[in-house]
Structure 1
Amino acid sequence: MNRLAPLLPDLAPWRSSRDFRLLWVQGLVTVFASFMALVALPLQIKELTGSPFAVGVMGAVELVPLVVFGLYGGALADAVDRRKVIVATEAGLGLLALVLLVNALLPSPLLWPLYGVAAGVSALAGLQRPALDSLLARIVPHEQQTAAAALNSLRWQLGSIAGPALAGLVVAYAGHAAAYGVTLGGYVLSVLLCRGLSPAPPAHDADKPSLRGIAEGARYAWSRPVLLGTYAVDLAAMFFAFPNTIFPFLADDLDAEWSLGLMYAAGSVGSLVLGLTSGWTSRVRRHGLLVVAGATGWGLAIAAAGWFTNVWAVLLCLAVAGAGDMLSGLGRSTIWNQTIPEELRGRLAGIEVLSYSVGPQLGQLRAGGVAGWTGTRAAIWSGGVACVASVGLLCLALPKLLAYDATTDADALRRKAQQDARREARPDAGPDGGRETRPEAGPDAGRETRPDAGPDAGQETGPDAGRETRHPSA
């Protein structure tokens, strides 16, 4: 057991921060609640229309609100109490779940409310996620950011594996209304948990949300090569090597139609394994290397998945890809939370929403287009190779990403000094002067998750539907 201890998840954030524990439990609740709607909603559209196109329109309906409100939500998170944003958006998501429930109980359910709710969920998720993501840097000590990211990701992986299976059973045996009822109940519980969070007011000189404020955040990101590198590497990895949309065709090519569900789940399984053995990542200081190594591993594994003809080898490659994606995500999340100033954290989280959501969407478009031209397997392996090549070029163009060291980077040291100063000013307070965060009585061996999140959740925060390790928006 002692030999395994260095590999087990680092529970330091769970023990040191009451707010982190609340957010972790809240996130777990919303992951399961969200998956109920995430599974039931497209199935209900399918039953009402019988049209694959009508189901596919959901993606277009969700993308624009997520991008627009994600950017605005970033500016909002820097201007108002982040706890209030989280509580208000969770309540809004609960009201949308109530709309779905009422519509499902009608003798003849209507189609247009389903699209309206999908757009509304995406908008609220865009508003919420920057507040959730930026809150992590405030409630968790500087040196525990990687551990917190690993625990949040672990939460998401547990939910993404068990959530769809449970949701499928509820929809199949109890119907859409029951699934929406569970979603509603989950958000009611989530609101109660979020109300227990410490206040998270903005800086005293915070400006009101504005385009100028959003532009200021974008200029800051552009001026920091390390941050720019994290965004660029993730976008490149997802654009070139996100083949989920053509998995049905890959299953056909391999003469293994039965494997389609396993293909979608394999990445989450790989991420879960890495999460359960993530203790070593808390001792890493070169987080840029994690970003690059994870993205490179993702690309190589996707290339191998397109090359192999044995279905079990393909599934193994997809699991390895999921582990690589999570490793890169841990590095990105840690760099963001260790270096971005508190007064800009929300706006930069809004930019993260943009990079986080657009990459997989464009990647699915690329994969489908190339598959129609070259064939399914060629589209997959060529995308993996292009991913590795693009990550290499980005390392040459942005060498500071590889050189990043949390113990020497000027931005990281400045952010740590800010946290330490606030802690010294209020020795009984949490990492950034919030509510006291001494460990409470009870077992310490909880499980934690990554912010990234999701919507997640939200989900991780989720909200971020997308690949996952990406969080659901519902």
Structure 2
Amino acid sequence: MLKNLRPYLSLIKENHDFRRLWLAQSVSNFGDWFGLLALYAIISRYSDSEFLLGLIIVVKMLSLALFSPFAGYLADRFNRRKLMIWCDLLRGVAVLGIILVQSVEMLWLAYVLTAVQMMLSAVFEPAKTSSIPNVTSEENLTNANIISTATWSIIFTTGMAIGGFATEWLGTDLVLILDAMTYVLSAWFVYRAAIPQTRLSKEELYRTRNPLKGIKEGLSYLLNNRHILRPSLAKGTSTVFLGGLVYLLIIVSEEVLMMGSIGLGLLYAARGFGTGIGPIIGRRLFSDEKDWVMVMGLAITFCGLMYMVVGFVNELALMLIFVLLAHAASGANWVTSTVLLQKRTQDTFRGRIFSTEWLLFTIGSSISTTIASLILEFDIMTVKPLILVYGGIMALGGIVWSFTITKNEKIYQEGF
């Protein structure tokens, strides 16, 4: 076991700048998930509407989506290290402000501050992902992304599980204070890291001084390079179904399992653990990068099928197993698409490419969650049959991917 982990441990130990960037991600991610259930609890405290609970997820996703094109432009034009530091500090302030929500009349503030937090995350995430190739060698790039995804999963697992108990025992205010502190610590780690970056030339800076021009150039670059476009669609294709399914886990915990925040923490912990082990298993089964676009379609299909099983069962233990398996496939999809984008995209466009990917990801999740919440709100369908429908359509989407995107990737590979 230790032998299998040695490449990952060596990268963390020997690469100081990657380690600091990784630590920054770790502590800020812990705060994200640690504080998320507190936000759900605040909304539930002042409203019993399933739509309003789903709306906070939509606000998070739409805020990311609407700001993503401009965020990618910023990540390519300005110093990514400084951008990440400012984003962390301002996110801490936004999270701390949610404490002011002390009545139903103030509930709107939670949505506004969450939107601000996500707009800042829209800048931080492409800046961080674009920086990973600049602090690691090409041969260590896949390991670095597996570490990043596995860490997200471990932090997600512990953060959500601990957050569920902490929200019950410590109260929402203290949880939000701790959440804000994690952003400050993250900013400190980024400050201590040296993050190289290929800067735009003077001519490029002048030509793209208008943000719309810079955004348009990034979009043209993506559309004109189909070998980059294909992996950029993977997360969006998955989340247009998976976003609603993740939201439905909240309702399952409340109405089927009758376990509230603790049940949701356990379901989300299974989700996180699966996301962590999925890329490691996927790399062992499919070590050749030429197969990775095919793997993305298989992962989408498998994830949908596993959620269909979740729609059939009612026991917590079985739900945890199949949620874990579903998100193991999702985690493999995430890492393979990220690494291909990092390798195939030149540094000066990387921020815009990853922000476009985030745009597709967040729009897909927002649409999926909105539809699911409205179906439940108007009693069109109950939660378990809805999971079956979403899972089935997701599996079908993966099959369509295999006959279209995978086919085009094979033609591209044969051209080499």
Offset of 1:236 from its aligned partner?
Answer: 2.9
Question: Residue in 2 aligned with 1:387?
Answer: 394
Which aligned pairs between 1:10-409 and structure 2 lie closer than 5 A? 10-11=8-9, 13-15=11-13, 17-49=15-47, 52-100=50-98, 103=100, 110-201=106-197, 202-205=199-202, 206-207=204-205, 208=209, 210-241=211-242, 242-247=244-249, 256-258=257-259, 261-274=265-278, 280=284, 283-286=287-290, 287-308=292-313, 312-368=317-373, 373=380, 376-398=383-405, 399-402=407-410
| CA distance in 2 between partners of 1:380 and 1:9 (Å) | 39
* Shift in Å, 1:171: 3.1
> In structure 2, what is the Cα distance between the partners aligned to 1:165 and 1:204?
47
Distance 2:3 2:103 in 1: 56
Give yes or no for contact 1:74–1:127 (8 Å, CA) kept in 2: yes
| TM, length-normalised to structure 2 | 0.84
Number of paired residues?
403
- In the TM superposition, residue 376 of structure 1 has moved relative to its aligned partner by 4.1
Give the Å deviation of 1:145: 2.0
Cα distance in 2, alignment partners of residues 43 and 378 from structure 1: 26
Return the offset for 1:31.
1.5
Give yes or no for contact 1:79–1:209 (8 Å, CA) kept in 2: no
Secondary structure at 1:195 match in 2:
helix
Counterpart secondary structure, 1:243 = helix
1:226–1:401 contact (8 Å) kept in structure 2: yes
Q: Distance in 1 between matches of 2:63 and 2:370?
A: 19
Cα 1:362–1:401 change in 2 (3 A) is: farther
% same residue: 21
Tell me the TM-score normalized by structure 1. Answer: 0.74
RMSD: 3.3
Partners of 2:47 and 2:380 lie apart in 1 by 30
3-state SS of paired residue (2:361): helix
SS in 1 for 2:233: helix
Cα deviation for residue 309 of structure 1 reads 6.2
For residue 308 of structure 1, report the CA deviation from its aligned partner.
Answer: 5.0
| Cα displacement string for residues 20-46 of structure 1 (whole angstroms, at most 9, x for unaligned residues) | 100111111112222343222332343
Contact 1:225–1:400 at 8 Å: present in 2 too? no
Shift in CA distance, 311/401, structure 1 to aligned 2, threshold 3 Å? farther
Q: Which AA in structure 2 matches 1:203? A: L
Would you say the 8 A contact 1:7–1:277 is kept in 2? no
- Whole-angstrom distance in 2 between the partners of 1:15 and 1:409: 39
Moved more, 372-381 or 236-245: 372-381
Give the counterpart letter for 1:96 in structure 2: A
The worse-fitting range, judged by mean Cα deviation, of 67-76 and 265-274 is: 265-274
Relative to total residues, which structure has the larger helix share, 1 or 2? 2
Is the Cα–Cα contact under 8 Å of residues 135 and 196 in structure 2 kept in the other structure? no
- Structure 1 contact 9–279 (Cα < 8 Å) conserved: no
Q: Residue type of the partner of 2:289?
A: R
**CA distance 1:46–1:123, shift in 2 (3 Å):** same
The residue identity in structure 1 corresponding to 2:12 is: W
Change (3 A) 1:121 1:248: closer
Distance 2:326 2:257 in 1: 20
CA distance in 2, matches of 1:380, 1:41: 24
Structure 2 CA distance, aligned partners of 1:264 and 1:152? 18
CA distance in 2, matches of 1:145, 1:9: 11
Q: Distance in 2 between matches of 1:375 and 1:357?
A: 25
Structure 1 unaligned runs (5+)?
411-474
What's the CA shift string for 1:70-120, capped at 9, x where partnerless? Answer: 11010111111111111111111122234345x37x899954443331121
